[in-house]
Amino acid sequence: VRAYRGTELHIHLSALEKNYRWLAQVSPEFLCPMVKANGYGHGDVRVAKALEGWGCKTFGVGLVEEGLRLRDFGVQGEILVFGFSGDDAVESLLAHGLTPVISDGQQLEALTRSVKAPTPVHVKLNTGMNRRGFRSSEWPGVAQQLKETPNLQLRGLCTHLLEGEDLMNGREGLGYSLQQIETFEKTLLGFDKKNLFLHIYNSAGLASVFLNHQSMNYGCRPGLLTYGVDPMKDQRLAPLISPVMELHSNIVSTQDVKSGEVVSYGGLWRANRDSLIGIVPAGYADGVCRSLSNRGSFLVRGRRVPIVGRVCMDYTMVDLTDLNVTQDKVIGERAVIFGQQKDTNISVVQMAEAAERSTYEILTGVSERVPRLYLGA
């Protein structure tokens, strides 16, 4: 598809490689990068194929549809599907060699009914998140049913942490994560776990255990870390990983706004001096959160320029006055929505903070109409 405007998402494959290699080194036993939600916005097929090229064997998706897409485009590795329901989904999943992560009785029943050939499966335990997964009391029944259905071949057991950062408190801490890990271990006490993958950590869990110099013990399903976003509040891990995604646009036009005039819908911003306003062709339909109205900033010429007025569907306005440039010079220049420009950086974490959104929403919020440009391939 041809792009006629300068708004584009840069995907740095060298950063993805660096992050992946670091993760593979830290979590050598089991590593399942999450490529759901279009690879956290980075492009699921491109990301999975790149990872596969560097030796990655397992991928995680949220939906059967996402797994099918990867298969259609030739991803060969194991694809764990964390969400599915109904017989059609199960048939499809089995027909295309996707690996179900069984999280409830209906899924187990449907699989038991449909499975005709040996199929690897993982089982998810609910240890406190109370979203998906079997409770401890259900586990013996599940184990029994698997035993009676030899075509369902148990390959892994997992759970999901609800507050991975709290592992920073160490083994003595009383955070949720330790309680969850304890519940996981207690539930499986006495069950033969030989040759099974046990995976627990999300990015925050892995980061905490790593920063605390604890031994890993369990496998990891990193989303954020794969894409170079530090899940920790203090950003201590940031130097070890690199952001994969940068959102760029440009100054498509300018307005000379006189002191006292307003900018954008609702007139939320009023100039208190004669101002040069840059018009950036990227708005909330592209992934610039509307909550950045009058509060966020972009980078132009390596400097932060404040967003003025309401973010629109297709446009965002920035105040260029302090750059002391003439308007004919600045038109066509790059505006970085998040990413690096010269020595200045707006990280996804910073944008999320300014927008009062999660980093997940920023990554997955870059819409489909923004072309992805893969660099360093």
Ligand X SMILES: Cc1ncc(COP(=O)(O)O)c(C=O)c1O
Closest residue by beta carbon to ligand X: 223
Q: Kindly tell me which residue out of 100, 156, 222, 228 binds ligand X, with binding defined by CB under 6 A.
A: 222
SS (H, E, C) 321-375: HHHCCCHHHHCCCEEEEEEEECCEEECHHHHHHHHCCCHHHHHHCCCCCCCEEEE
Q: SS3 of 121, please?
A: strand
- Nearest approach in angstroms of CB 336 to ligand X is 24
Among 82, 84, 197, 284, binds ligand X (CB under 6 A): 82
Contacts of ligand X in 171-210 (CB under 6 A): 202-204
| Catalytic residue list | 36, 265
In the bound state with ligand X, the residue whose beta carbon lies nearer, of 123 and 336, is 123
Binding range to ligand X, per CB under 6 A, among 51-59, 173-181, 219-227, 304-312: 219-227
Among 90, 111, 224, 349, binds ligand X (CB under 6 A): 224
Smallest gap, in angstroms, from Cβ of residue 258 to ligand X?
A: 47
Structure tokens at 169: 């408190």
Q: Which of 206, 318 has the CB closer to ligand X?
A: 206
CA distance 225 to 240: 10
Dihedral (CA of 357, 359, 365, 371) sign: positive
Instruction: 96-103: list long-range contacts, CB under 8 Å, 24+ apart.
Output: 96/67, 96/68, 96/71, 97/71, 98/64, 98/67, 98/68, 98/71, 99/155, 101/158, 102/142, 103/132, 103/133, 103/134
Write down the least CB distance from residue 327 to ligand X, Å.
42
Q: At closest approach, how far in Å is the CB of 177 from ligand X? A: 13
Q: Under rule CB under 6 A, how many of the chain's residues touch ligand X?
A: 11
Of residues 226-285, those binding ligand X (CB under 6 A): 231
Nearer to ligand X, 34 or 257 (CB): 34
C-alpha 332 chain-centroid distance: 31
Site string for ligand X, 322-351 (x = CB under 6 A): ------------------------------
Q: Site residues (CB under 6 A) for ligand X? A: 34, 82, 160, 202-204, 221-224, 231
